Amino acid sequence: MRIALFTETFLPKVDGIVTRLRHTVEHLQRNGDQVLIFSPDGGLTEYKGAKIYGVSGFPLPLYPELKLALPRPSIGTALEQFKPDIIHVVNPAILGLAGLFYGKAMQVPLIASYHTHLPQYLQHYGLAVLEGLLWELLKSAHNQAELNLCTSTAMVQELTAHGIERVDLWQKGVDTEMFQPHLACKEMRSRLSQGHPESPLLLYVGRLGAEKEIDRIKPILEAIPNARLALVGNGPHREALEQHFAGTPTYFVGYLEGLELASAFASADAFIFPSRTETLGLVLLEAMAAGCPVVAARSGGIPDIVQDGVNGYLFDPTDEQGAIAATQRLLANQTERENIRQNARKEAERWGWAAATRQLKNYYNSVVYAQSMSPAA
């Protein structure tokens, strides 16, 4: 099958969306499919055999790490030459609109997928008044697709409630070969704790953005004697967070990748995740695969992954004391913590990328078949 994939973000950007797309493209190509990726230009022309059509763009004012790439006629020419069997638009916003337009113009079946909960982001950037308008724009874009995929049941329900049609679930996935508990090591623990490996080590991995509510980890850190915090990642809110955590034993690590990232997960005592804007929270699955106990907000797609008291802990995101109590409970009971580690790894092992990509390919096939059988075809 020839698949044209439109995405607003791709390599060299590092985030959960790119991680899912990387593994998806790799498995599709490995299984004999051919993928053409349309994305903001990041200097790459190929990934795992898939060609990348980079579109020049400019940095997003609120988030300079993201580029806005505007549609242009040359995209249509490239699509006509590629002759896709299906077009998959990831988070249709700017560049993705070209995928929707040319899909309709060329009568190519369209699938869209929803990965970033933008309406909830707005309140963290002082733009909550625009939430209703944004939902209308999202509905207009997504309802052009024959199928809309979400990565958690909570998002399936929310998109449906806001009038988006033909919504289904794209199952979660995680690289269980990369993220493993045995990668825990003293050197990484000493590095993350800045030379205090004996202290309780709290970890956060992800974008340092206002919508992630990382500032809410500070009361947890201060409530646990001698605890250290390592923040892995980068983003537009880093400077504000450095001021917020000034005077606390917090280490801003920057980006980690590959085995270093896997080792960081495996070497920490608890992964703290206060975000309420997650459509899934892929980073939680990575932590769980590495055997790092998770303490996360009961919100969005997170309860699809974390079962409270079984493979991690959930807390009411409006209750600061709940997050503190959950973390204290985890650190106080070594036997329970070990059970959580083992159960977290077992849960992650259920969700390999190969199975998630097979499911996606089945969706592709069903949409292509349905369009071929329609009278208009």
Q: Please identify every stretch of the chain with a pLDDT value under 50, giving residue numbers as ranges.
A: none
Q: Which residues pair with 252 in a beta bridge?
A: 231
Task: Quote the pLDDT of residue 301.
Answer: 86
**Single-letter amino acid, residue 353:** W
- 142: burial class by Cβ within 10 Å (0-12, 13-18, 19+)? buried
Instruction: Give yes or no for a contact between 167 and 160, defined as CB atoms under 8 angstroms apart.
Output: yes
Q: Do you find a cis peptide bond into 200, omega within 30 degrees of 0?
A: no
Rounded Cα distance, 164 and 147, in Å: 10
Angle at 352 between CA 346 and CA 356, to 5 degrees: 130
Domains in the chain (CATH in brackets) are: 2-173+352-372 (3.40.50.2000), 181-349 (3.40.50.2000)
Task: Quote the pLDDT of residue 280.
Answer: 73
> For residues 117, 115, 52 and 207, what is the CA-based torsion angle, rounded to 10 degrees?
60
By DSSP bridging, strand 201-205 and strand 270-273 are parallel
Task: Quote the pLDDT of residue 37.
Answer: 98
Instruction: Give yes or no for a contact between 85 and 91, defined as CB atoms under 8 angstroms apart.
Output: no
